[in-house]
Structure 1
Amino acid sequence: MIDPSRPSSYRDGHGRGRGLDSHGHIRREGALELVTAPFGPVVEAARKRLPGVFGTRMTGAYLYGSIPRGTARVGRSDLDLLVALAAEPTEADHRAARALGDGLDREFPQIDGVGTLLFSRARLLSDLETYDLGWFVACLCTPLLGEDLAARLPRYRPDSRLARETNGDLALHLPRWRTRMAEATTDDARRTLVRGVSRHLVRTGFTLVMPRWNGWTSDLGDMAESFAAFYPERAEQMRAAAVLGYEPGGDPAVLRSYVDDLGPWLAGEYARVHGIKAPRPQ
């Protein structure tokens, strides 16, 4: 278990600090040079095909997730992309992104799916998104093509404002998850839902304690341990969720425990500690 009394200069088992630079800002995670050999062809194919899909409307493209962090697992990890557009994405843009992802997924067995986020450049740089999508681009995304918006965004500290604006909307997700639970009638559908909800809860639990832990990590296990140091009474639930975030099962009881117990408790504690995320347009 991580000792919360250790100073911020604490080093983890890999010799890295807690994801912060010497000034206490969150370091950008990931880099193209960290992409491991099996995933190099996938990244290169995405780089070549994106301009053909979005043309001059695309102002920049990024990788995020395990592939640019160098932790992807062959046949298990997906390719995560974020594309910045000159205008708000249309339904045609989303269809084109899905077609691109489907093609890459079929062609490269080393990945298990492709997810592509589409946002306008203006939204990514907006005041409303500075401490959510802006932070995501500046700290968790690796530039692949075009303009890097990180140059236009601030440096970020692991403080309460960042916690509130990234994950302070958990209460809004709970009814959506209940609806999806009712619609998930196969083991595969339930596994997909367990994976996504588990990851969301672990990341929310981590950002709840992030200002006190004073650092950043994207590893689900490390997130769960950081949380456990401050909420030992919920530690085993969060550790179990971290495991399911990597190796999901399809047990409906797990989903029920998320939406009936861990999720509501976490949403309430988050609101008490950090407040509620600023509302977004529907």
Structure 2
Amino acid sequence: MPDAFRPVVAAARARLPEVYGARLHSAYLYGSIPRGTARVGRSDLDLLVALRAEPTDADRRTARALGTALDAEFTQIDGVGTLLYGRDRLLSDLERYDLGWFVACLCTPLLGDDLAARLPRYRPDDPPLARETNGDLDRCLPRWRERIAAAEDTEAARRPLVRFMSRHLVRTGFTLVMARWRGWTSDLHEMADAFGAHYPARAAQLRTAARYGYDPVGDLAVLRSYVDDLGPWLAGEYARVHGVKAPRPTP
């Protein structure tokens, strides 16, 4: 972990038990900070928080408030993204090849008992793994269009959307070919390169998305290209190759 981000991580580690108390089971880092590739002033802090019960609206507001406070206090980061789930859901059969895999293989324990010890060993060529990790892009696209339409007409308001959607598309492209790549990674550039080896006609688009996943622009044309071109094509190809992800309960 780059030294510049150690105070940010230490603050998150100290404050999560303060705001969630006994409801907190464990917390994890993922993304560029634990990977060691974060850039000062440009990278965000990515957290996954497991609660002992399903999160409530109040829990989600707490996560947003904590993220806002950390972002305001530490200039090293550009935003905080927090995934919030109940422990039982993360360990459930339904999430075994999605959130369970994510915790076990792509997250770094921050505090609490690591749930990875209770999850299976995964193989990149397991067919359910590709289907259940990113086989729901087609269901995401209408929500993305709504978020784009609702966003303020400013570069600052669109940048987080570009970052989020870029990362989602690159991860979807990677898991489309993960079995053939025979491994996994959380580096967006590696993901895009692995995808491009099998889909050269779309390689440049995914490599650009990988760049925007780390260094986003607030360009409306980029967002429209995601929901009108790259996203629909990727959703269709994913369904053709791997099938469609099982529906999840509405939060």
What's the TM-score bracket when you normalise by the shorter of the two chains?
over 0.9
Cα RMSD (Å) of the superposition? 1.3
Answering whether residue 90 of structure 2 is matched by residue 124 of structure 1, we say: yes
**Could you say which residue in structure 1 is the equivalent of 2:206?**
238
Give the secondary-structure state (helix, strand or coil) at the position aligned to 2:186. coil
Partner of 2:83, secondary structure, is strand
Question: Could you say which structure has the greater relative contact order, defined with CA pairs below 8 angstroms and 6 or more residues apart?
Answer: 1
Measure, in 2, the Cα distance between the counterparts of 1:106 and 1:254. Answer: 27
Larger mean Cα displacement after TM superposition, 121-130 or 249-258: 249-258
Superposition map of 1:50-65 within 5 A:
50-65=16-31
Residue identity opposite 1:173 in structure 2 = C
Worse overlay, 245-254 or 59-68: 245-254
Indicate yes or no: 2:73 matched with 1:104.
no
Superposed structure 1 runs of 4+ greater than 3 Å apart: none
Secondary structure at the counterpart of residue 176 of structure 1: helix
Quick one: which amino acid aligns to residue 42 of structure 2? R
CA offsets 1:238-277 (integer angstroms, 9 cap, x no match): 1222222222223322222221211111111100100000
In 2, the alpha carbon distance for the partners of 1:216 and 1:226 equals 10
Is residue 227 of structure 1 aligned with residue 170 of structure 2?
no
Partner of 2:221: 253
**CA distance in 2 between partners of 1:228 and 1:97 (Å):** 36
Query: How many pairs are equivalent?
Result: 248
> What residue in structure 2 maps to residue 151 of structure 1?
117
- AA aligned to 2:6 is G
Tell me what 2:45 maps to: 79
Identity, in percent, stands at: 76
Partner Cα distance (2:225, 2:81) in 1? 27
Is the 8 Å Cα contact of residues 42 and 215 (structure 2) preserved in structure 1?
Answer: no
Taking structure 1 as the reference length, the TM-score comes to: 0.84
Provide closer, same or farther for how the CA distance between residues 253 and 98 of structure 1 changes in structure 2, counting only shifts above 3 A. Answer: closer
* Structure 2, unaligned runs of 5 or more: none
Stretches of structure 1 lacking an aligned partner (at least 5 in a row): 1-34
- Alignment match, 1:163: 130
Structure with greater Cα Rg? 1
